[in-house]
Amino acid sequence: MNTARLRFGVLGPLLIEADGAPVRPPRSPILRGLLGVLLVAAGRSVPADRLVELVWRERPDEVNPGSVQVAISRLRQWLRRIDPTPDPSWSLDHDGSGYRLTFADERFGQAVDLGGFRVLAAQARAVGDARDRSELLEAALALWRGPLLADLPILDVQDPLLRSVTEEVNAAAADLAAAAAAAGRAGAALDRLAALAEAHPLDERLEAGMVELLAADGRTAEALRRYQTYRESVAEELGVDPGERMQAAYLAALAQDGRTPEALGVSRAPPSVPAQLPPPVPDFTGRDDQVRALTGLLTAREYSPVTVITGMGGVGKTTLALHVAHHLAARFPDGQLYARLRRPDGASVDPAEVLGGFLRAFGLGGQDVPPSLDDRSALLRTVLNGRRVLILLDDASDEGEVRPLLPGTPGCAVMVTSRVPLAGLEGAGRIDLDVFDQEQAVALLARIIGPERVAAEPRAAADVARLCAHMPLAVRIAGTRLARRRHRTLAWLADRLGDAHHRLDELTAGDLAVRASFRLSYLRLPDETRRLFRLLGLLEAPDFAEWVAAALLGGSYRDAQTHLEALVDAQLLVVSGTDANGWTRHRYHDLVRIYARERAVEEESDAARLAAVQRALGAWLALAERAAEGVPGPCYAPIHGSAPRHELPADVVDQLLADPMAWFDAERAAMAAAVEHACALGLDEYAWDLAASMEKYLDVRSLAQDWVPLHEKAMALCAAKGNRLGEAVLLRGLNDMTTWLSMERPGDAMGTSYDASTRLYRLFAEVDERRGMADALVAQCWGLTARGDSELALETARRALRLAQETDHLGGEARAHHIMGVAYGEGRPEQAAEHLERCLELARLHGNPRFEATAMQFLGAAYCLTGRIENGHALLVGSLRISHTLKDHYAEAFSLLYLAKLYAALGDERALPTANSVVYLSRRHNLEHHLADALTVLGQLDLTAGRYTAAITNLEESVRLWRARGWHSFLASTLRLLGQAHRENGEEEAARKAWSEALNVYERLGDTPAATETAALLNER
């Protein structure tokens, strides 16, 4: 065995050599990416999902584990072609948790340049002599040919796996600079470091190393120029000054150069100047990105920069502005001016008054200060000409307050804080400030009350931050209250804040109050805008589109848009993004919502509040009812209730519902909240109809976690109110969903389904809803078929068919023919095919592509059983295309399942990867029935291939699932296979146990031929 036969390089473009000669990499970018990632992983396992993230990152949703398995197989074949020796030096395997590429005797350091680099770098770290260390690091970095896998653009170099290698190389380069400078080998190391610094121009470690080496090599002038170039680059790109290591390298070079700060033009202390800034907040926390951005904006020299910091009241605008202003004060040696443009009562301060104060700060007074606003403004511009002054204008409400206070020449800078955008300030830079994240909010709390108290109650600290909605002002108030009450715990305050009705009462400390901050913004609004603010606060939706505002106000759609924009400008509403339809969505911060509800209770009557909420619910219902017509879900009879709808303008509705699925995608969370809200208000007609209108969408999207709680809550309300129609419609959908998905409920799924559908039939009969009765009978048929009572299932299906025909329920007719095809099953495939052909005709007539795909699946399977293989295969592939178009994972798994069965029967090698895809989809989307069936297919394939242990594992899991499903015929056939696998594996007792159980099931089903065959297996010796 020749362990050196293959060598690979990743520290640069992908490099492959065999016996010292270059080898062209695989043509496929996927295979090149896989090889590169596995080499960088250095023998560690990489799970399939991580490979998808790294190599297929632009289209991960299109890839499943089967695709990864195929790609790995192709890569393995390619490696064998370039290294065809019987005993290769490499191995590419799956170790149970992921794929890994290893080399003989773990000689990674010999086979891959990254391994060699790490060996040399580790040796360097272990030696104490600077010369030896620098020589080892030079040798390590000699292996670097360029950025990691530079010729593989499909890889994300910022992924932690790849970024960590770049960090290793750069850290070694920085260490080389220090060691070479200490060892007197600066000249030898410079070229090595220069190439890396050019590849990473903003990496301070590398640039500082270059300055150190240049100075150590006697090239101090070049070192100083390099420092200056770097300082300008980071100021322009990042808005920051060089860090400590670069500053230290610069000062060392400067000292070596012999020049004094005065020679470099550093000015002496400025004369006495205005310094009006209020003191900074001592416990300033977070906002690193905003500090950098503000620093960059305010230190531009081409013009007099104006930067506006906007955000809602209490978000920390003034705190940030003061922090940055004090940080930059030295850059404005001619003074810092400050003015608050709002009085305590909310009134604006006259700009002329502010100008008078600024002019007096520069020594002007009496007759020197003119009386008019324009003259004072002109005089300030004259005074500031040629000076470098920073001006902070706090809490401006419009552009007219700000313009007279602006300088007119370069050198000065202005910061303005405001609750409104001030969009009219031409050329102004903008920083939009939002609330803290959880980590920042807890950090601020710790700085106020002490880290030891937060460490003692971390969960309570997180709760306090969350209940303060991560708003800096609220967190500050909460922290101040605790700081004054050392005997109180964080848990005590979290409990007090937990009562939403009194939360704003708790968030008051001294002259700080969250409510007062909101009130200031609220009072500036016009009356109708304030009304919309109050009414929107009544909704439970996490966010909402602008049409909701029109429904709440009950007036002009255009007027509602205007009021909504005013709320956004006032920072009382936040634009949360754009939905799938391109419509802007809005949301409240939590504490603002509480304030809005307080105002609604104070200023709106009970009747007005209820009417507004009903208009919003009615608008959601009207849109959902129409959108559901365009969703290709189950072919149930569309049944709706009597809740009043609120109709929006026709052109708006047409735009909203151009893509019904996209509309549901956008409104899913809001509609779920609407159902909850309707239940809380006891509005059963709204609750059940809204929930039922979402059924088809939730079904297609496989969103059982959303479906079940909605339906159960609304159904409980209907039962309590005696609303039998609503209860029946919700039970119909709930039963269908819980029958086919994994819900971890007691009893066998199919038996539970039969009981529920029997109750469903009685509920629909009680309100004489005959279309619903037809749907209930079809649901009964599935339970009957599962327990092997096919004749009663056929009789029940015929009753369902007659009811559907009598009530012109086309979907019911299709479903009745469908279940008759299932009931005839594999034992009578010709009769099954006749009904499934009629089912497909009706599905197409109904215009429901999802049910059309279902009909194609079952008909395709029936055709295969009758020998019409090509027709059956074409139908199954066609159904798969429809499923992909609809992004319907349930239907996709079903189509793949029957294709896997067909391939297995034909001995086609596609059977195994197809069955594995079904297992993957089923586990991911809780498709328990499909999973059980696919595991049976895998077990059969393993058994045929002689993989008996794998067969037993798959078949035992399938048996457990079939027991839970309550589908007896599938259980019995899987038990027979399991018995065969045990016997082939030499486990006779286990085989007889499986066959005995299978025999009992067959006898209960009355399947005499199968029982006889199973008994014969038991009698064999």
The pLDDT value given to residue 317: 85
Its sign, for the CA torsion 916, 917, 921, 927, is negative
Q: Which of 246-250, 344-348, 804-808 has the lowest mean pLDDT?
A: 344-348
What pLDDT, in 10s, does the model give residues 844-879? 988 888 889 889 988 988 898 888 988 988 998 888
* Dist. CA 723–CA 685, nearest whole Å: 8
- Tell me the CA distances in angstroms from 255 to 182, 263, 704, 799, one per residue in order: 17, 12, 70, 99
Instruction: Spell out the residues 6+ positions from residue 51 whose beta carbon is closer than 8 angstroms to its own.
Output: 34, 37, 68, 98, 99
Asked if 964 contacts 748 with a C-beta cutoff of 8 angstroms, the reply is yes
* Dist. CA 215–CA 220, nearest whole Å: 5
Tell me which range, 16-30, 153-167, 219-233, is most confidently predicted by mean pLDDT. Answer: 16-30
* Dist. CA 472–CA 18, nearest whole Å: 61
The pLDDT value given to residue 261: 35
For 197, the token pair is: 């610094």
* Dist. CA 904–CA 977, nearest whole Å: 15
pLDDT for 1004 beyond 90:
no
What pLDDT, in 10s, does the model give residues 114-152? 888 988 988 888 888 888 888 899 888 889 888 888 888
Mean pLDDT, the chain, rounded, equals 85
pLDDT for 302 beyond 60:
no
The pLDDT value given to residue 787: 81
* Dist. CA 722–CA 828, nearest whole Å: 45
Specify the higher pLDDT residue, 743 or 173: 173
When pLDDT is averaged across residues 296-322 and rounded to a whole number, the result is 81
* Dist. CA 107–CA 755, nearest whole Å: 64
pTM for the whole structure: 0.58
pLDDT for 688 beyond 90:
yes
SS3 508: strand
pLDDT for 703 beyond 90:
no
The pLDDT value given to residue 512: 66
The pLDDT value given to residue 732: 92
* H or E element that contains 15: strand 15-18
The pLDDT value given to residue 881: 87
Q: How confident is the model at residue 344 (pLDDT cuts 50, 70, 90)?
A: low
What pLDDT, in 10s, does the model give residues 359-378? 888 877 767 788 888 888 88
Longest CA–CA separation in the chain, Å: 122
The pLDDT value given to residue 272: 44
The pLDDT value given to residue 304: 62
Q: Which of 439, 499, 427, 515 is nearest to 467 (CA)?
A: 499
* Dist. CA 498–CA 492, nearest whole Å: 10
Residue ranges with strand state E in 572-613: 574-578, 584-587
When pLDDT is averaged across residues 442-466 and rounded to a whole number, the result is 87
The pLDDT value given to residue 799: 95
The pLDDT value given to residue 675: 95
Q: What is the DSSP string of 603-641?
A: HS-HHHHHHHHHHHHHHHHHHHHHHHHTS----------
The pLDDT value given to residue 2: 43
What pLDDT, in 10s, does the model give residues 742-779? 445 555 677 788 888 999 999 999 999 999 999 999 99
The pLDDT value given to residue 767: 94
Q: How confident is the model at residue 628 (pLDDT cuts 50, 70, 90)?
A: very high
Asked if 915 contacts 900 with a C-beta cutoff of 8 angstroms, the reply is yes
When pLDDT is averaged across residues 333-349 and rounded to a whole number, the result is 81
The pLDDT value given to residue 106: 58
* Dist. CA 628–CA 608, nearest whole Å: 30
Cα 651 from chain centre: 33
What is the Cα Rg of the chain in Å? 37
Tell me which range, 363-372, 558-567, 602-611, is most confidently predicted by mean pLDDT. Answer: 602-611
* Dist. CA 547–CA 133, nearest whole Å: 69
* Dist. CA 955–CA 960, nearest whole Å: 9
Q: How confident is the model at residue 267 (pLDDT cuts 50, 70, 90)?
A: very low
CB atoms within 10 A of CB 219: 17
When pLDDT is averaged across residues 187-191 and rounded to a whole number, the result is 80
When pLDDT is averaged across residues 644-662 and rounded to a whole number, the result is 92
- For 907-1005, where are the alpha helices, taking DSSP H only? 911-925, 928-945, 948-965, 968-984, 988-1005
| Identity of residue 264 | L
* Dist. CA 760–CA 775, nearest whole Å: 9
* Dist. CA 162–CA 165, nearest whole Å: 6
pLDDT for 271 beyond 60:
no
pLDDT for 61 beyond 70:
no
Asked if 794 contacts 824 with a C-beta cutoff of 8 angstroms, the reply is yes
267-273 contacts, C-beta under 8 A, 24 or more apart = 267/333, 270/333, 270/334, 273/333, 273/334, 273/335
pLDDT for 262 beyond 50:
no
The pLDDT value given to residue 264: 35
* Dist. CA 96–CA 240, nearest whole Å: 47
Percentage of the residues of the chain whose pLDDT score is greater than 70:
93
pLDDT for 436 beyond 90:
no
- Strand pairing class (429-432; 306-310): parallel
* Dist. CA 588–CA 312, nearest whole Å: 11
* Dist. CA 182–CA 187, nearest whole Å: 12
The pLDDT value given to residue 252: 74
SS3 25: coil
The pLDDT value given to residue 809: 93
Q: Is 495 exposed, middle or buried (0-12, 13-18, 19+ CB in 10 A)?
A: middle
